[in-house]
Amino acid sequence: MIAQKEAPPAGPSGGAPQETFVLNLGPQHPAAHGVLRILMTMDGEWITRAEPVIGYIHRMHEKMGENRTWAKFLPNTSRIDYLSAMHYTHAFVGAVERAAKIEVPARAEYIRVITSELNRIASHMVWWGALLSDLGGLTPFLYAFDDRELILDLFEGICGARLTYCYYRFGGLCNDVDDDFLKGARAFVKHMPPRLKMYRDLVTDNIILRKRLTGIGPISADMCRRYGATGPVIRGAGVAYDVRKVEPYSAYPQFDFKIPVYPECDSMARYLVRMDEMEQSLRIVEQALDSLPAGPVMGKVPRVLKLPPGDYSYAVEAARGRFMVRIVSDGKDIPYRVRLRTPSFSNLSLFEEASRGMILPDALAMLGSLDLVIPDIDR
């Protein structure tokens, strides 16, 4: 005998029944930024529980790290967060240089800072365009990609790649920058401020955007700490945590820049942090171009690289937050263990708690304000 299913309780005034239903968002939903899937238990338009289901683009980079030499793993690092490739390569070469005690020439460190900051601007532009297209405005995407193209052209000129740069090497860089790059970078620093002002007039001060983001998706400083969320997410919660200042690396201590912080904890605060960060990155690039030292771009590196046994970690401030590489060496020319701690993983892990009780369109706006890159989560 088939058990009779109990009828759900009727809603107020005898209307639609009061019960929850499961909404499956993704893994190919246009608002899900790649292959992210979220299982949402909905009470009408309200989310009672939203569980991210990840792993659809898992490639096991950490295993790949264990079956090739240190140098051969280098190209992998730019394929984890492909929008922030310079920073990721920086963390891996930094960890190896720290372990092998390789000295990096000053010129190489300055160029690393210049390219990292340009990469941060390019990454923030993709975020900006994607967030706004999530919110229903497609035009800003085209403006952002127009400006981002200038950076990609510069990078193509120095390392041949437009996205997955493998420009940094243990001990320095694979190429010195040429005059075209230096001229182009200077032109870009001049070109951007009026564009950022236009972004502000066109989008940031727009009443519809403000209403979609202000007060939406609160993420407190304590929640960031408990989940390990970093980058613009924690800085939008009033905490001036930035690896470039807390654990200074490369040539960053040489430059004068501010860490933009907004205490409101909402999606708008995270938005404004990134918009201000682009201005600060331009300041760093300009200072580095002004004081770029002459000299070689490659230090002395042994032909066969074997690291002393032990474990070493190196963290950088990537566009999405703290990216850390932890390497374990057993003295051979192949890593014993490579651990990649990615910011998007931690930033998404708080979504279940943060989205509880929100309505669906607000949760999608919050998702956009987290700036997720799915391969960065899944590795």
Whole-number minimum distance, CB 328 to other proteins, in Å?
6
Q: Which is nearer to other proteins, 82 or 336 (CB)?
A: 336
Q: How far apart are CA 73 and CA 88, in angstroms?
A: 12
**Part of the chain binding other proteins (CB under 8 A), chosen from 51-59, 71-79, 292-300, 367-375:** 51-59
33 forms part of the interface with other proteins (CB under 8 A): no
54 forms part of the interface with other proteins (CB under 8 A): yes
246 forms part of the interface with other proteins (CB under 8 A): yes
Please, which of residues 301-340 interact with other proteins by CB under 8 A? 310-315, 322, 324, 326, 328, 336-337, 339
168 forms part of the interface with other proteins (CB under 8 A): no
68 forms part of the interface with other proteins (CB under 8 A): no
341 forms part of the interface with other proteins (CB under 8 A): yes
Q: Which is nearer to other proteins, 16 or 60 (CB)?
A: 60
Instruction: Please give the C-alpha separations between residue 51 and each of 34, 47, 63, 297, 342, in angstroms, as whole numbers.
Output: 16, 10, 27, 47, 19
Q: Which is nearer to other proteins, 230 or 369 (CB)?
A: 230
185 forms part of the interface with other proteins (CB under 8 A): no
User: Phi then psi for 315, rounded to 5 degrees?
Assistant: -120, 145
Q: Which is nearer to other proteins, 62 or 279 (CB)?
A: 62
CB 114 within 8 A of CB 189: no
274 forms part of the interface with other proteins (CB under 8 A): no
Please, which of residues 92-131 interact with other proteins by CB under 8 A? 95, 98
Whole-number minimum distance, CB 100 to other proteins, in Å?
12
22 forms part of the interface with other proteins (CB under 8 A): no
346 forms part of the interface with other proteins (CB under 8 A): yes
CB 340 within 8 A of CB 62: yes
Residue from 16, 58, 156, 205 touching other proteins (CB under 8 A): that is 58
153 forms part of the interface with other proteins (CB under 8 A): no
**Part of the chain binding other proteins (CB under 8 A), chosen from 166-174, 188-196, 207-215, 238-246:** 238-246
Residue from 224, 284, 319, 370 touching other proteins (CB under 8 A): that is 224
Q: Which is nearer to other proteins, 129 or 231 (CB)?
A: 231
Residue ranges that bind other proteins, judged by CB under 8 A = 54-55, 58, 60, 62-63, 66, 95, 98, 221, 224-230, 234, 239, 241, 246-247, 310-315, 322, 324, 326, 328, 336-337, 339, 341, 345-346, 349-350, 353, 378-379
